[in-house]
């Protein structure tokens, strides 16, 4: 199945994959990203600190002010999963077939949640590697990762008309 996924779609996939990770995993990844010795711009470091202050950072992670943190969070979330997947692929890790990648993902699934695997796939999809297109395709077609319909962009809920709600809930006046 050939699915064309553009660069903006791949960034959306990463944003949505990170937003699908649970609160506990995301908070641990924030701590790891902040404590890592990775050089990053001061603004990204400050955004990581601000994001960590939220009791539940999940609803905030996709907001524009936190988007520069996504590659760092993705790495903190999925580096171990990526290493284990590469190990499972062996000599085929540079350019695996779909079947080889699916077999490797089945192998690591016992140790990593589907949302973490999705973050790993989204991170690889952003890289310019031979397996990038395959990873993007899996994210957009496999329902296990929760992103199968996300390539068109995140679906925003309709705006809530609070005035209409208060009029409806007020009932008849006496």
Q: What is the pTM of this model?
A: 0.79
pLDDT tens sequence across 20-67:
999 999 999 999 999 987 888 999 999 999 999 999 999 999 899 999
CA distance 157 to 143: 21
pLDDT of res. 154: 41
Cβ atoms of 44 and 69 closer than 8 Å: yes
């Amino acid at each position: 199945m050939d699915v064309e996924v553009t660069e903006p779609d791949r960034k959306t996939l990463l944003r949505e994959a990170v937003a699908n990770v649970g609160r506990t995993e995301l908070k641990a990844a924030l701590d790891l990203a902040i404590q890592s010795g990775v050089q990053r711009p001061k603004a990204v470091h400050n955004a990581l600190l601000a994001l960590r202050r939220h009791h539940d950072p999940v609803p905030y992670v996709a907001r524009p002010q936190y988007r520069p943190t996504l590659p760092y969070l993705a790495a903190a979330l999925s580096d171990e999963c990526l290493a284990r997947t590469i190990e499972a692929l062996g000599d085929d890790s540079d350019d695996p077939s779909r079947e080889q990648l699916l077999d490797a993902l089945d192998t690591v699934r016992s140790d990593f949640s589907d949302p973490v695997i999705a973050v790993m796939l989204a991170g690889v999809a952003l890289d310019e590697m031979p397996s990038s297109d395959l990873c993007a395709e899996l994210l957009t077609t496999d329902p296990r990762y929760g992103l199968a319909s996300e390539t068109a962009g995140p679906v925003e809920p309709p705006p809530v008309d609070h005035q209409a709600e208060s009029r409806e809930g007020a009932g008849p006046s006496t």
